[in-house]
Chains A and B, each alone.
Chain A
Amino acid sequence: MSAPALRPAPPAPWERMQAVLELQDISKSFPGVQALKGVGFDIGAGEVHALLGENGAGKSTLIKIMSGVHRPDAGSIRIDGREVSFASPLEAQRAGIATIYQELLLFPELTVAENIFLGHAPRTRFGAIDWGAMRRQAEQLLASLDIHDLDVGKIVGTLSVGNRQRVEIAKALSQNARILIMDEPTAALSEHDAGRLFDIVRLLRQRDVGIVYISHRLEEVFRLADRVTVFRDGEHVATKTVADTDCDDLIQMMVGRRIEQLFPKLTVPIGEPVLELKDITRRPATNGVSFTLRAGEILGLAGLVGAGRSELAQVIFGVTPADRGEIRIAGRPVAIRSPSAAKRHGIGYVPEDRGIQGLVRAMRLRENVSLAVLGKIARGPFIDRGAEARLAEDAIRRFGIRASGIAQIVNKLSGGNQQKVVLGKWLASEPRILILDEPTRGIDVSAKAEIHRLMSELAGRGLAILMISSELTEVMGMSDRILVMREGRIVAEFARGAATQERIAAAMMSGGEIAVQVGAAG
């Protein structure tokens, strides 16, 4: 489908006025990755401006800059035309920018009214908290959001998620927020609560609050937003009025790019099934997942953050065992109720958060590499330091780890090298099945290529690999088959040649097309 021609849109009301919040030429980089490259974004009073992009496109970095958590390396932030700079989240709050995060920052033991007014409660003449006024103002705030069924004296810990979110919104309003940033607000909500949220958004709009709305649910964008901005790879792709675009157009903007093969994948004979999942369920993140993984195969698992991919990996790996369903290893049903059981069955897991889940950062390279195979480098109960040293040196050589030696504390290594240590750790256990969760996230290009080369080599030797990745080029470049997960389920499957980034992205998001079983079935 060709991209629709850009028609100049009639100037919308907010375009005529000055934007309340305007970011220009913002760049921000972190060690190893350039998160934002000269992007711009603006929002006016009473506007709902949706922000779209894949994982890693830079959306959350932009939000953090807007709310004062990070400071940009370059570029300017303006409020009402005046340039500002936030030294802390508190300053952004005082400037009228409020953020509703996915993990709500409420105090479960305090009441609704207290949570709304914590830190800025109305005071009496003597300086004590005016509880009556606080209560009244809380009720007024809720009423202004058309919320009439929430008692401000209730303890927040007893509230449902939907209600807690409404408390957060009221809290933001109590601080006279002019801009409200909502990050995936409907992710944890029921349909009913989501509907109420939309009503609140419309109300806020009428009160001239500008809303930055991040969501992967395209139908919401079309329902609520006035304008939509798309980011890709840290760059600003386009900003359009919602009336001027459609789903396909948005998806194309989000993922359309030249596919550069980082490393040509070898064709490898695919063998017998080594891992079979039937209807694996674990509330609330995994809802009946089934697939088969074969020896020599690289199975890519795509999906948005929150789709449940890492949760699935942790179910397979025994960190959070399944409530229901069956796992078979090489045809035999097994029960995996702990990581040590998973290890025994030949499964290895390179986790998403390498710093906290993958490595003991305070320990040395040699100690980390041997951590999953302590039995192997031991003679009886005693650690054989020679064997451990050999294992570590082997890993350094094999993976090209740049370190000062096997005694290096891994905290000092770069991201790419740390990842290689984790890989080395798990490969030392000689697994049959390797689950890689975002294996090249935050890693520079050359290290990425090395890891991809390694993956191909391992597959060539018969290892079965489940690769979770948010980078569509990686998923398409490396996988023999691609599964797409959404809300805890597999919603699509693609064979290697049959996938396009647009099709995968559409499957990942709701409201787009759902492509089912395209190409030769696995």
Chain B
Amino acid sequence: MATTAPQVDTASAATAALRRIVGSQEAVLFLAICLLLVVVGGINPRYVAERNLESMLLGNAYIAVAAIGMSMLIISGNIDISVGSLIGVLATISGTLATAGYPIVVAWLVPLALSMLYMALVGAIVAYLRIPSIVVTLGMLSILKGGLISATGGTWISNLPAGYHLAQMQLLGLPMPVCFMVVLTAAAALWMRYSAAGRAVYAVGGNAEAARLAGISRERTLMMVFIVHGLFVGIASVLFATQLSIIQSTVPPNLELSIITASLVGGVSILGGTGTVIGSTLAAILIAAIGSSLIFVNISPYWLRAVQGILILLTVLADLMRRRRRAVRG
């Protein structure tokens, strides 16, 4: 059989790779963000002013961080709708520790530990008891929400010590939340792409039976992904807590929905097995940009949630169609 010359192969491989990148969800999102900036910026130049862009990114960076863990979870075939309430609880705990006089580092790290423990519990119920994650987290959602309100009694935490506000600090001239967002996204993307554990998540989410035949344990992989998700939620909660000089007793309404939307719109398929964390971060930015843009073009921001819903629907439909087309072809 005639062999083709190696040089031609690398060239065609390169174009194939390029085509894959351009046609990907991540590229679409990036283009969408640019488009939005250009169009809305054209209508109202204050939209693209540095102050607005900064506040847009700052205020939503924690959503992107939480969406990293959520994406991993969805890739593995599960979901967590308690994350919003969890962030609220963790933020309150963090603030309480800080005002109670504990070292600030403790106030930053305890939420991470607690979050990982909590997720280990949820993960165990899902992995070993085989209860669907939607149901477990639906129940946890209300436990956490109610627990938060009754514990705090609705009061806010103020009198936070100086040096606590991580989110208001800067690193190398960039706001801390943005640094976290970028670094964590990159780290997570690398981990998911290049580590055996990260690939195992894709395998279990894509075809758990075949994964088992390849020697990958579904239970251990699920436990791991839940705990990692917990880590990211913990970090997000600290960013959320340290954003303002007070910690409210509630989180923004439907926070979990915003996080899940970011993951789904970011290209993570709800059927498991596909998607990247870079996509979810870009999507989080896009959604924040859309939300912000509504104000600048005089559309009531109350339409934001409707937009989120439509975005989810469109993304899911596109994903379904993509899968169906692939199935017919293959």
A109 with B213: CB separation less than 8 A: no
A129 and B194 in contact, given A109-B206, A146-B1, A148-B9 (Cβ under 8 angstroms): yes
- Whether A118 contacts B326 in the complex (CB less than 8 A), given A109-B206, A151-B9, comes out as no
- The docked-state distance in angstroms from the alpha carbon of A119 to that of B207 is 14
- Which residues between 188 and 242 of chain B lie within 8 Å of chain A, taking CB atoms? 194-196, 199, 202-203, 206-207, 209-211, 213-216
User: Given the known A-B contacts A119-B215, A146-B1, A159-B330, are A154 and B16 also in contact in the complex, defined by CB atoms under 8 Å?
Assistant: yes
Residue pair B202, A110 in contact (C-beta under 8 Å) = yes
Answer yes or no: B3 CB below 8 A from chain A CBs: yes
A90–B262 CA distance with the chains assembled, in angstroms = 39
Per-residue CB proximity of A85-114 to B under 8 Å, as 1/0?
Answer: 000011000000000000001111110001
Is the beta-carbon distance between B206 and A148 smaller than 8 angstroms? no
The answer, among B13, B199, B210, for a CB contact under 8 Å with A114, is: B199
Interface status of B298 (Cβ within 8 A of chain A): no
CB-nearest residue of chain B to A155:
B20
A128–B195 contact, CB under 8 A?
Answer: yes
Which residues of A are found within 8 Å of B194, using beta-carbon distances?
A: 128-129, 131
Q: Does B17 contact A (CB under 8 A)?
A: yes
- A199 on the interface (CB 8 Å rule)? yes
Query: Among B13, B17, B196, which residue has the most Cβ atoms of chain A within 10 A?
Result: B196
A195's nearest neighbour on chain B, judged by CB, is: B1
Query: Is B84 part of the contact surface with A, judged by Cβ < 8 Å?
Result: no
Q: How far is the CA of A151 from the CA of B8 in the complex (A)?
A: 12
| Cβ–Cβ contact A107 & B203, under 8 A | yes
**Contact of A90 with B330 in the complex, beta carbons under 8 Å:** no
Q: Is the CB–CB distance between A121 and B196 below 8 Å?
A: yes
Query: Per-residue 0/1 for B80-121: is the Cβ within 8 Å of any A Cβ (1 yes, 0 no)?
Result: 000000000000000000000000000000000000000000
A128 / chain B contacts, CB cutoff of 8 Å: 194-196
Residue of B nearest to A110 (CB): B202
Query: At the interface, yes or no: A164 with Cβ under 8 Å from chain B?
Result: yes
Per a CB cutoff under 8 Å, which of A110, A148, A153, A164 touches B199?
A110
Closest-CB distance, A269 to chain B (whole angstroms)? 46
Residues of B within 8 A of A119 (CB): 214-216
B78 adjacent to chain A (CB < 8 Å): no
Q: Name the one of B16, B203, B207, B274 contacting A151, with C-beta atoms under 8 angstroms.
A: B16
The answer to whether the Cβ of B7 comes within 8 Å of any Cβ in the partner chain is no
Contacts of A109-163 to chain B: CB distance below 8 A: 109-110, 114, 118-121, 123, 128-129, 131, 146, 148-149, 151, 153-155, 157-161
Complex contact B195–A129 (CB within 8 A): yes
Q: Say yes or no: A161 contacts B9, CB within 8 Å.
A: no
| Residues in chain A near residue B207, CB distance under 8 A | 105, 107
A108 touching B213, Cβ below 8 Å: no
Residues of B within 8 A of A146 (CB): 1, 3
Given known pairs A148-B3, A157-B326, the reply for A105 and B215 (CB within 8 Å) is no
Is B330 within 8 A of A164, CB to CB? yes
Chain B residues with Cβ under 8 A from A105's Cβ?
207, 209-210, 213
* Cα distance, A109 to B216, chains bound together (Å): 16
Residues in chain A near residue B216, CB distance under 8 A: 118-119
Residues of B within 8 A of A120 (CB): 215
A175 to B89, CA, bound (A): 49
Question: A107-B202, A128-B196 in contact; A153/B17 too (CB < 8 A)?
Answer: yes
Is B215 within 8 A of A149, CB to CB? Answer: no
Q: Mark B1-39, 1 if CB is under 8 A from A, else 0.
A: 101100001001100110010000000000000000000
The one of A151, A155, A160 in contact with B13, judged by C-beta atoms closer than 8 angstroms, is A151
- Contact A89 B213, beta carbon cutoff 8 Å: yes
Chain A residues lying within 8 Å of B17, measured Cβ to Cβ, are 153
Chain A positions within 8 Å of B20 at CB level? 155
A460 CA / B199 CA spacing, docked (Å): 62
In the docked arrangement, what's the CA distance between A154 and B214, Å? Answer: 20
Task: Indicate with 1 or 0, residue by residue over A154-186, a CB within 8 angstroms of chain B CB atoms.
Answer: 110111110010000000000000000000000
Interface residues of A in 36-93 (CB under 8 A from B): 89-90
> Once bound together, how far apart are the Cα atoms of A149 and B9, in whole Å?
8
Partner of B213, one of A90, A164, A199: A90
Shortest B93–chain A CB gap in Å is: 34
Q: Is B273 an interface residue when CB atoms closer than 8 A count as contact?
A: yes
- Shortest C-beta distance, B215 to chain A (Å), equals 4
Pull 18 A–B residue pairs with CB atoms less than 8 Å apart, ordered by A.
Answer: A105-B213, A106-B210, A107-B273, A109-B273, A110-B206, A114-B199, A118-B216, A120-B215, A129-B196, A129-B199, A146-B3, A148-B4, A149-B4, A151-B9, A151-B13, A154-B16, A157-B330, A160-B330
Interface of B with A (CB < 8 Å)? 1, 3-4, 9, 12-13, 16-17, 20, 194-196, 199, 202-203, 206-207, 209-211, 213-216, 273-274, 326, 330
Q: A109-B206, A158-B326 are in contact. List 16 more A-B contacts (CB 8 A).
A: A90-B215, A105-B209, A105-B213, A106-B210, A107-B203, A107-B273, A108-B273, A109-B274, A118-B214, A129-B199, A149-B9, A151-B9, A151-B16, A155-B20, A157-B326, A161-B330
